Amino acid sequence: MYEVFADLHVHIGRSKTNKPIKITAARSLNFENIAKECVERKGINIVGIIDCASPYVIEDIEEFLKNGEAYEIEDGGIIYKNKVCIILGSEIETSEVNEDGKTGSAHNLCYFPTLKDIKAFSNEMKNHIGNITLSSQRANISAYELIDIVKKYNGILIPAHAFTPHKSFYGNCTSRLERIFKEKYKDIPAIELGLSADTFLADKISELETKTFLTNSDAHSLPKIAREYNKMLLEKISFKELLKVLKNEDGRKIVCNYGLDPKLGKYHRTYCETCEKNIEGEAPVTTCPYCDSKNITMGVYDRIEIIKDKEKTISPRFRPPYVYQVPLTFIPGLGSKTIDKLLNHFDTEMTILHKLSKDDIEAVVGEKVANLILLARDGKLSIEAGGGGVYGKVTTKA
């Protein structure tokens, strides 16, 4: 067995024929460019592209498979240049009713082994979604119903960014996933933590002790691929092996989660929409202490404080370490030219963030930036928490 890097949540902006897929994502983010970026700049070995149920993207994939450098394998997944395994996925928004009868919506990551499977899934979902060509569309069914459709086409379902305030199960629909999925809860192998949460926060909820935690980028542009990722131990890169990793079977597992310090995420603390500011007081903040308004966007940290059923974080024995990483774009004084310079010298961002010595970095970009990258590696930067859709900030000066 050997170790690989995986990022299972990457969006597509446009199809190659320039049809919009995810409007808020970059135009350059198409199927082929994602595959290339993973191989050439990111060092990612398994990538989940989650807009593959769009018929325009399906056309792109069919074209992509014709060129010879990419092919489907029997165990599921598309291998490109013998270096990266592309997992075909689809993000679906479901409609839920929570404990007090209010309605909410949640995002679900659905992954499939073959193009044939996701095509069939796409075809069936046309009955439940207004416009199947676009990303992350709302379906008129609940996740309890969606999971059956996913299973019918040999797929798996994973709750996406499980705690974010607007489109997630814990953030918007429920305090317990088991209430949503009932007897099917056991069929969910993992949850995605999202940028504003980490293992230490999520392991305050006991129903998650049987689930694997995923740290994915939710990238809306090429540079953001792998801002969070998972290091996995497996036998080869394929859908089948990925499934074993998620289920912790036969020695396959996630060895380490690499993610942002959750304070850097866009929804870490509660944000007052009236005062337009983040509230850093003692959690949970549910009312603005400045204007008494309840017109707030709940922070992930605050929400977990409300729904947790453990006083202290207790992780199950199989839980891998969670290593904070500060992507280069978050480091103050590091513009895109300097980042390009670093990447040209050292290959991938992962090498720069986690492996290189201070001397090596300093030789290319000078002492100040090198110091910051090292401080980030040791978790010693000071960070102003994010909230209300605005990322947190590194406040240590270069």
Residues that bind Zn ion (CB under 5 A): 107, 160, 272, 274-275, 288, 290-291, 293
Helix or strand run (H / E) with residue 191: strand 190-192
Q: Which is nearer to Zn ion, 43 or 299 (CB)?
A: 299
Residue 350's nearest CA partner among 371, 321, 323, 380 is 323
Sequence letter at residue 1: M
Write down the least CB distance from residue 285 to Zn ion, Å: 10
> In the complex with Zn ion, which residue's Cβ is closer, 151 or 166?
166
User: From the CB of 271, what's the least distance to Zn ion, in Å?
Assistant: 9
Nearer to Zn ion, 289 or 366 (CB): 289
Judged by CB, which is closer to Zn ion: 160, or 343?
160
Q: Do residues 6 and 230 touch, judged by C-beta distance below 8 A?
A: yes
Burial profile 61-78: b = 16 or more Cβ within 10 angstroms, e = fewer: beebeeeeebebbebbbb
* Smallest separation, CB 11 to Zn ion (Å): 9
Alpha carbons 255 and 318: distance in angstroms, whole number:
9
The helix (H) or strand (E) run that includes residue 378 is none
Q: Which is nearer to Zn ion, 43 or 159 (CB)?
A: 159
CB of 277 to Zn ion, least distance (A): 7
Question: Shortest approach of Zn ion to residue 52 CB, angstroms?
Answer: 15
Peptide bond into 284 cis (omega under 30): yes
Q: CB neighbours (10 Å) of residue 336? A: 10
Nearest residue (beta carbon) to Zn ion: 288
Based on CB atoms, which residue is closest to Zn ion, 123 or 293? 293
SS3 309: coil
Give the contacts of 118 (CB within 8 A, at least 6 positions apart): 52, 53, 58, 88, 89, 90, 112, 153, 155
Residue with tokens 């807009």: 51
Return left, alpha or beta for 130; rule: phi > 0 is left, psi -120 to 50 is alpha, else beta: alpha
For residue 23, what are its two tokens? 């409007």
CB of 387 to Zn ion, least distance (A): 12
**In this complex, which beta carbon is closest to Zn ion, that of residue 64 or of residue 169?**
169
Q: Which is nearer to Zn ion, 281 or 333 (CB)?
A: 281
Query: Least distance (Å) from Zn ion to the CB of residue 16?
Result: 23
Q: How far is the CB of 134 from Zn ion (least distance, A)?
A: 13
Q: CB of residue 360 vs Zn ion: minimum separation in angstroms?
A: 37
Q: Which is nearer to Zn ion, 255 or 275 (CB)?
A: 275
Exposed (0-12), middle (13-18) or buried (19+): which is 296, by Cβ within 10 Å?
A: buried
Within 13 Å of residue 339, how many CA atoms lie on the same side as its CB?
A: 17
Alpha helices in the chain (DSSP H): 31-37, 55-66, 115-125, 143-152, 169-172, 177-181, 199-202, 239-247, 300-307, 336-346, 349-354, 358-365, 367-377
202-225 CB burial, b ≥16 within 10 A, e <16: bbbbeebeebbbbbbbbbbbbbbb
